[in-house]
Structure 1
Amino acid sequence: MIKKILFFSLIFIFSISCVNSNKTKKGDKLYVVTTTTMITDLVKNIGGDVIEVKGLMGSGVDPHLYKASEGDVSKLTNADVVFYSGLHLEGKLVDVFEKMGRNTNTVALAEVLDKRGLIGSEYFASNYDPHIWFNIKYWKEITIYLTEKLSELDPKNSLLFEKNSKAYLDKLDILENKIIQTIATLPKDKRILITAHDAFNYFGKQYGFEVIGLQGLSTATEAGVQDVQNLAKLIIEKQVKAIFIESSVPKRTIEALQEAVKAEGFDVKIGGTLYSDALGNAETNEGNYIGMFQYNVNTIVKALK
């Protein structure tokens, strides 16, 4: 009797281990979980229909403050691989990743970048500004790295991944050429970008803008009265025509800045809403990385002219 119980116990344990090793694949598809909307969009472009992708964050979601739900934890632990941005962008998810330990394969895509080219930041535990997707050259590096990782995990589809990657890199080349042409129409002395928080420093460094964020690099920080007053003086001094709100950050701080400028007798308009830490709605053109980037540049240049 004892031998029978032991035998069936071993069969049960073996069955559970097989289920865990296969995770929640549907058929032979690789089950991938992603964090930000930018990464979800990239993985879908490279993986296509041969992988299953579940994104944790949606449009307008702030990754700095995002907390994993019980459902998210289940998705993460059942994934074959989790792709996240890294550099402490998903600050509150880091603990979840650490608790998962080695049971789930997690890949921080920004880790492939040479840190000598990154912008330092005292706001993050990584000591670097994590908003790397606003330098298209960095996004190309991440695309190549992601392609390699998917090919390692799913070798039978590696040729498809490489084909999709090449096509996407070509699209990024076209995007960069377009935005450089658009920015060239804006006089250099007008290239001052003021937003809710410092998500656009890589954009400014690469494409020649002075960038100032009211709340600093992380939306977890708060702008004080003195911050607003100092920035209002700068706007008046440099005759900045427009300031911008962000889709994933409450607009109250930028509206307070606009009022502070008006109180000093100068009129600055809100030039529009920029997509910073999240893409737009999936059914819109801004719901993908390329459309979002083109939209942001068009909005900035039009408002500052």
Structure 2
Amino acid sequence: MNLTKRTFIAAATALAMALPASLAAAQERLNVVATTGMIADAVSNVGGDLVDVRPLMGAGVDPHAYRQTRSDIVAMANADLVLWNGLYLEAQMEDFLGDLAEGTAVVPVAESVPENLLLGSEDYEGRFDPHLWMNPNLWSRVVVNVRDALIDVHPDGADSFNANAEAYLTQLNELARYTNEVLSTVPVESRVVLSAHDAFNYFGNAYGYEVVGIQGISTESEAGLKRIGELVDMLVERNIRAVFVETSVSDRNVQALIEGAAAEGHEVIIGGELFSDAMGEPGTYEGTYIGMIDHNATTIASALGGKAPAKGMQGLLN
């Protein structure tokens, strides 16, 4: 372990041990830190009243490029449990999380999903695409891993964690049913999702859509002029008239595509803004995992000529 990291983690741990007894007694609930909002949302639903969860990355934050801050390090060093996606999603944090795991319960919740269910990564040889949350059925497996991690560190809460997980998985089954239903209304020839980066491959695999990312799976990769030119040609030749922007990735390259197509006499519109690597603002429907995926499915179906309720699955339930 790097000496600076070791020293900082040790100092943070010592600070936690020095907390006043009255404050420590008040912290009866399990203290969980999750890297992404999607994982934190799963912890909140499964943990219920037995956990306090802190997500490190909020709305609009790109996990591929995120580096832990000093306050993040303190929070993780003081946590009962740290949950991260893994599969190289949090690429800039991997070394630190590996070091932290020497003295803290640190679990990469996506890495135990069977490899035969994972998609390969074109960006990184020998690695897998980390964006499992784009398929609710696959994400349900991650929720089970979250449940198991909570039980491992707090066995007395097992009954509550199991009951909460069962209820939440039922909601995810309903989400999967809704997304399949609305996305199947899009004409087959129009089932193309072109967006800023390759975050939607599990979505495409689940629902029979062709997915095209300007950048690769990681937002750290760059899209050159040749790539932009090739995609402009594709838009024109295949008469694709809608592309999508993402909340956590710059729209610069998407705008370049639209301008390039316009120069060729082909009009392309932005079909909507999709949530890719981060959920919406806290306290909003889109700031939940279910709301995030509902929004994406409804937006894509509506933009590509399908039929979807104006307010998505949320509107059907209210």
TM-score (norm 2): 0.87
Give the 3-state SS of the residue equivalent to 1:195 in structure 2: strand
The CA distance in 2 between the partners of 1:59 and 1:253, in whole Å, is 21
Q: CA deviation at 1:117?
A: 2.1
Matched residue pairs, number? 289
> Aligned residues: percent identity?
40
Q: 1:207-222 residue pairs with structure 2 within 5 A?
A: 207-222=207-222
The CA distance in 2 between the partners of 1:264 and 1:29, in whole Å, is 60
- Tell me what 2:30 maps to: 30
Cα displacement string for residues 231-261 of structure 1 (whole angstroms, at most 9, x for unaligned residues): 0111111111200000000111100111011
CA contact (8 A) 1:67 1:93 kept: yes
Q: CA deviation at 1:101?
A: 4.1
Q: Do structure 1's residue 232 and structure 2's residue 223 form an aligned pair?
A: no
Q: CA deviation at 1:301?
A: 1.0
Which one is further off, 286-295 or 95-104? 95-104
- Tell me what 2:268 maps to: 268
Distance change (3 Å), C-alpha of 1:195 and 1:156: same
Please list every run of 5 or more consecutive structure 1 residues that lacks an aligned counterpart in the other structure.
1-15
CA contact (8 A) 2:81 2:104 kept: yes
Cα displacement string for residues 113-157 of structure 1 (whole angstroms, at most 9, x for unaligned residues): 111221111423761111111111111111112112211211221
Amino acid at match of 1:183: L
Q: CA deviation at 1:230?
A: 0.2
The CA distance in 2 between the partners of 1:101 and 1:58, in whole Å, is 23
The CA distance in 1 between the partners of 2:110 and 2:259, in whole Å, is 38
The CA distance in 1 between the partners of 2:124 and 2:80, in whole Å, is 28
- Tell me what 2:310 maps to: none
The CA distance in 1 between the partners of 2:191 and 2:43, in whole Å, is 33
Q: CA deviation at 1:298?
A: 0.8
| Larger Rg computed on CA atoms | 1
TM-score (norm 1): 0.91
CA contact (8 A) 1:245 1:254 kept: yes
Cα displacement string for residues 143-186 of structure 1 (whole angstroms, at most 9, x for unaligned residues): 11211221121122111111110110100111111111101211
Amino acid at match of 1:171: Q
Amino acid at match of 2:157: N
- Tell me what 1:250 maps to: 250
Give the 3-state SS of the residue equivalent to 1:127 in structure 2: coil
The CA distance in 1 between the partners of 2:36 and 2:304, in whole Å, is 29
The CA distance in 2 between the partners of 1:18 and 1:120, in whole Å, is 41
Distance change (3 Å), C-alpha of 1:157 and 1:32: same
Distance change (3 Å), C-alpha of 1:18 and 1:52: closer
- Tell me what 2:83 maps to: 83
Distance change (3 Å), C-alpha of 1:18 and 1:221: closer
CA contact (8 A) 2:100 2:106 kept: no
Distance change (3 Å), C-alpha of 1:167 and 1:192: same
The CA distance in 2 between the partners of 1:126 and 1:50, in whole Å, is 38
- Tell me what 2:57 maps to: 57
Q: CA deviation at 1:289?
A: 0.6
Q: 1:1-305 residue pairs with structure 2 within 5 A?
A: 19=17, 26-124=26-124, 127-305=127-305
The CA distance in 1 between the partners of 2:16 and 2:245, in whole Å, is 49
Give the 3-state SS of the residue equivalent to 1:214 in structure 2: strand
Q: CA deviation at 1:224?
A: 0.5
Please list every run of 5 or more consecutive structure 2 residues that lacks an aligned counterpart in the other structure.
1-13, 306-318
Q: CA deviation at 1:282?
A: 1.1
Q: CA deviation at 1:78?
A: 1.0
Give RMSD over aligned pairs.
1.9
